[in-house]
Amino acid sequence: MVTYLDNNATTRTDPEVLAAMLPYLSELYGNPSSMHSFGGQVGAAIEAAREQVASLLGAEATEIIFNSCGSEGNNTAIHAALAAQPEKRHIVTTAVEHPAILAVCKHLEKRGYTVTYLSVDGRGELDLMELEAAMTGGTALVTTMYANNETGVIFPVEKIGAIAKAYGATFHVDAVQAVGKVPIDLATSTIDLLTLSGHKLHAPKGIGVLYVRKGFRFRPFLLGGHQERGRRAGTHNVPAIVALGKAAELAQINLAHTKREAELRDMLECGLLATIPDTVVNGGGAPRLPNTTNIGFKYIEGEAILFMLNREGICASSGSACTSGSLDPSHVLTAMGLPYTILHGSIRFSLSRYTTEAEIRQVLTVMPEIVERLRAMSPFNNDQAEWLQERDVALAT
């Protein structure tokens, strides 16, 4: 049996979603851009999917632009926001964004933009005073995530948006981790642009959406076709769009049930904390997504934990350096100022509506022994270990 607890990385395609998309991979292969009725029926399916996504977000169908993924949405949003107010050269974001935001910001810095990276505290939360202080009349864009992919910590987006609006800045939200997990109502929101990605809510990979508020001066990023009313050129990925529509419909129903996911998550969290000493929940004090928990197991390293879990058939993820191919620990946990004792040994478990109680129990059964084995090997097995850095001991106590 495989226990899949890495749903913030990607989710399995829902069988109903798969069933909905299959005809568009076989007999219904028309191009929605064609004038004939064979293409037309496919075009109708796209519009139905647009309605389904709009409904999940409390948006209007015309505000939905289908694209390929979250990274495309984030890149497009930033460029669109800057194009809308070309005289403004300042961007505000946070230190814990996804690379699809951070890399673009770093790139823009080289092109003469200034970027403010807001810090987070030990719970992963923003200081709105710091945001206020960063804002100027020259701020073109405020871009923040809705919820953090590693810790699940939810930002107060409407408060952030209110501040952004007060300074005339565009407000973009990367909601890739939040859509389908928390209710979002764009009809009553300050959000101008919002990114979502299909494969995080049980649609297949390679489909995403950029929401663009009606009336926003949008400049397309991808040129060369009239698709999406000229706002995103490129042949429609029809099966994936239909799938995302169905996934959005199911997510809307699921929103009423996320309490169950939160209960399973809490069962996992409490169980681990109760049976394994020197364990902390990263971001535990902040409002969080119902499906995510990020736990720091002190004195051991994340990749080693993941390999031990993998042998038990459990898939999770780690913010540790070694798993990512780079050597620096998670920029999110680092920005939270966590001590190294926790930083390197943090594991993210992310659940979905398919997660069962039996799976959670399995993790609770195997995890204590895994931690014990690795701690037995570690030269740091308590905060008194002579070898620990001063900073760590100070932070940990």
Sign of the alpha-carbon dihedral angle for 28, 34, 36, 41? positive
Q: Is residue 297 a contact point for other proteins (CB under 8 A)?
A: no
Single-letter code of the amino acid located at 122: G
Binding region for other proteins (CB under 8 A) out of 132-140, 231-239, 294-302, 362-370: 294-302
CB of 79 to other proteins, least distance (A): 21
Cα 191 to Cα 51, 90, 144, 145, 165: the distances in Å are: 19, 18, 11, 11, 9
Determine the Cα–Cα distance for residues 10 and 305; give it in Å rounded to an integer: 20
Assess 307 for contact with other proteins (CB under 8 A).
Answer: yes
**380 is a contact residue toward other proteins (CB under 8 A):** yes
Q: Is 358 in the site for other proteins (CB under 8 A)?
A: no
- By CB under 8 A, name the one of 221, 353, 360, 370 that touches other proteins: 353
- Considering Cα of 26, then 31, then 37, then 40, what sign does the dihedral take? positive
4 near other proteins, judged by CB under 8 A: yes
Query: Does 364 engage in binding with other proteins (CB under 8 A)?
Result: no
Instruction: Report the C-alpha gap between 129 and 371 in whole angstroms.
Output: 40
Tell me how far, at minimum, the Cβ of 324 lies from other proteins, in Å.
10
In the bound state with other proteins, the residue whose beta carbon lies nearer, of 236 and 246, is: 246
The token pair that represents 300 in the structure block: 């051991």
Q: Which of 21, 77, 145, 306 binds other proteins (CB under 8 A)?
A: 306
- Point out which span in 22-30, 76-84, 184-192, 363-371 binds other proteins (CB under 8 A): 184-192
The reply on whether position 361 binds other proteins by CB under 8 A is no
CB of 361 to other proteins, least distance (A): 15
| Beta carbon nearer to other proteins, 121 or 158 | 158
Phi and psi at residue 380, in whole multiples of 5°? Answer: -105, 105
Residue 118: strand, helix, or coil: strand
Q: Are the C-beta atoms of 300 and 276 separated by less than 8 Å?
A: no
Q: Which stretch binds other proteins (CB under 8 A): 29-37, 79-87, 181-189, 286-294?
A: 181-189
| Phi, then psi, of 162 in degrees rounded to 5 | -65, -40
Binding residue (CB under 8 A) for other proteins from 6, 97, 125, 249: 249
Binding test (CB under 8 A) with other proteins, winner from 38, 44, 285, 354: 354
Beta carbon of residue 250, minimum distance to other proteins (angstroms, whole number): 7
Query: What is the nearest approach in angstroms of other proteins to the Cβ of residue 371?
Result: 13
In angstroms, give the least distance from the CB of 289 to other proteins: 17
Closest-CA residue to 318 (of 357, 340, 364, 350): 350
304 binds other proteins (CB under 8 A): yes
- 69, 270, 315, 322: the catalytic one is 322
Overall size of the chain counted in residues: 397
Judged by CB under 8 A, which stretch of 24-32, 65-73, 108-116, 384-392 contacts other proteins?
Answer: 384-392
Among 323, 330, 346, 350, interactor with other proteins by CB under 8 A: 323
365 binds other proteins (CB under 8 A): no
CA–CA distance, 280 with 278 (Å, rounded to integer): 7
Among 10, 85, 114, 252, indicate the residue that binds other proteins (CB under 8 A): 252
Q: Which of 186, 86, 90 shows the shortest CA–CA distance to 138? A: 90
Per CB under 8 A, which of residues 148..167 are in contact with other proteins? 158, 161-162, 165-166
Q: Which is nearer to other proteins, 52 or 94 (CB)?
A: 52
- Vertex 307 angle, CA 302 and 310, to 5°: 120
CB nearer to other proteins: pick between 72 and 249: 249
Told to check if 319 binds other proteins by CB under 8 A, we report no
CB of 223 to other proteins, least distance (A): 28
Q: Hey, what amino acid is at 345?
A: G
Amino acid residing at 193 = L
104 binds other proteins (CB under 8 A): no
| Both structure tokens of 84 | 């809308």
Number of other CB atoms surrounding residue 296 within 10 Å: 23
Q: Is the dihedral of CA 349, 353, 355, 357 positive or negative?
A: positive
Residue whose C-alpha is closest to residue 270's, from 290, 288, 293, 289: 293
Q: Is 270 a catalytic residue?
A: no
Q: Mention every residue, 6+ apart, whose C-beta is less than 8 A from residue 43.
A: 32, 33
Q: What are phi and psi of 144, to 5 degrees?
A: -135, 165
Residues carrying an active site annotation: 322
